[in-house]
Amino acid sequence: MIARIWHGWTTPANANAYETLLRTKILPGIQRTHDCKGIYLFGRPAGNEVEFITLLFFDSLDAIRKFAGEDYEVAVVPAEARKLLARFDERSQHYETLVQM
């Protein structure tokens, strides 16, 4: 199993709208259409911003390529999410899951 980790930051004023967009549209869409095996969403205040982290699980790098494209590390950030974000990682990190308990 491969974990895909990505960070985005928004203003406190946009945080609720961004979280709602993730919960109701973006993350369910990824799970339905991209063979994603699990999703976690984390959030926390970070100075004058709110940080969000997504953790997505896929069976393989090939599955991630189907989701993100051949350059699979490039962040997949829909236009409506970009409008709410102050900044975000341009590239995602990927880790092999070594232990799951």
Q: Which positions of the chain have pLDDT values less than 50?
A: none
Residue 55 placed within a domain: yes
Max CA pair span of the chain: 38
The parent domain of residue 80 ranges over: 2-96
Beta bridge partners of 9: 51, 87
Q: Total domain count for the chain?
A: 1
pLDDT at 43: 98
* pLDDT for res 32: 85
**Residues 61-88: pLDDT tens digits?**
999 999 999 999 999 999 999 999 999 9
Give the Cα separation of 26 and 24 in Å (integer): 7
What the block records as the tokens of 85 is 């974000």
* pLDDT value for 35: 85
Q: Is residue 101 part of a domain?
A: no
Which CATH number covers residue 23?
Answer: 3.30.70.100
Burial of 71 (0-12, 13-18, 19+ CB in 10 A): exposed
pLDDT at 33: 78
The pLDDT value recorded for residue 84 is 98
d(CA 76, CA 69): 9
Residue 62: closest CA among 20, 22, 18, 94: 94
Q: What is the pTM of this model?
A: 0.93
Q: Concatenated DSSP letters for 19-60?
A: HHHIIIIIHHHHHHHS---EEEEEEEEETTEEEEEEEEEES-
Question: Would 19 be classed as within a structural domain?
Answer: yes
